[in-house]
Amino acid sequence: MRDIDVFIDTDEIAEFFYEELIRRGFIPAEEEVRELADITFDYLVKKEIIAEEWED
């Protein structure tokens, strides 16, 4: 299997969750949606689906 570079933006994840929750009849708070995005990112790192890299 080869490696590919993927950029995952937690703000984009948060926006996706927000829109999906609204579509499904929920009224999410912005902070809750951001926490969900962070949790999702942490999950992907923990499962080694992605590797976290810091920009200089």
Token couple for 25: 């009849």
Q: How many distinct structural domains can be found in the chain? A: 1
In-domain check, residue 54: no
Does residue 14 belong to any structural domain of this protein?
A: yes
Looking at residue 51, its pLDDT comes to 87
pLDDT tens for 1-56 read 788 888 889 999 999 999 999 999 999 999 999 999 999 999 999 999 888 887 76
Judged by DSSP in three states, 11 sits in helix
Q: Does residue 21 belong to any structural domain of this protein?
A: yes
Decide if 4 is inside a domain.
no
| Nearest Cα to Cα of residue 36 among 7, 56, 16, 8 | 16
In 1-56 the beta strands, taken as DSSP E runs, fall at none
23 occurs within a structural domain: yes
- Domain of residue 19: give its range: 10-46
pTM over 0.75: yes
Residue 42 lies in a domain: yes
Asked if residue 5 is part of any domain, the answer here is no
How many Å apart are CA 52 and CA 41, to the nearest integer? 9
Q: Domain for residue 52, yes or no?
A: no
